[in-house]
Amino acid sequence: MSYGNIENLYRQVIMDHYKTPRNKGLKNDDENYINVHIKNPTCGDDITIQVKIKDNIIEDVKHDGTGCSISMSAASVMTETIKGKKTDEALKIMTNYVNMVKGDDFDEELEMGDAMVYQGVSQFPARFKCATIAWKALNKAIEKSKE
């Protein structure tokens, strides 16, 4: 498969998650969920995630917000990628994802599901925050869960 075909496939996955986001919608007043809200004032991305963690396992993840196709689709992909994982495994995936999006070395063997489609973001440094805002919120939620 040529590079152009892979780029096109990646774009299709991103647009699918943007148009039909998975795990979208927050649980109202459910004390079993940790809420984290992050806003990027420079581009307008605004996201809230809710994470339900029990025995160090991410049982559920929800998201809601507004923003560009990269930030909103990345939130959808993040929820699918980490749901059911242990928190330390989710953090490892998150670190790997951030390194990949930044253009740094990353573990290509680590199973990251559809998150791999954001590899091309490294060519557009201005989009880094868009692609990582949901993951940053996840990191804060996991930190909160350990308090």
Q: At what angle do helices 3-19 and 69-82 cross, to 10 degrees?
A: 90
Q: Is 11 helix (H, G, I), strand (E, B) or coil?
A: helix
Half-sphere exposure for 81 (CA within 13 Å, toward CB): 27
pLDDT in tens, 62-112: 999 999 999 999 999 999 999 999 999 999 999 999 999 999 999 999 999
pLDDT in tens, 105-137: 999 999 999 999 999 999 999 999 999 999 999
Residue 1: pLDDT above 70?
Answer: no
Q: What is the pLDDT, as a whole number, of residue 43?
A: 85
Of the candidates 26, 20, 30, 32, which has an alpha carbon nearest to the alpha carbon of residue 57? Answer: 32
β strands within the chain, DSSP E: 34-39, 46-54, 57-66
Confidence of residue 2 (pLDDT cuts 50, 70, 90): low
Residues 6 or more apart in contact with residue 23 via CB below 8 angstroms: 60, 61, 62, 63, 76, 79, 80, 83
Residues 6 or more apart in contact with residue 115 via CB below 8 angstroms: 74, 77, 78, 81, 93, 97, 100
Domains of the chain: 3-145 (3.90.1010.10)
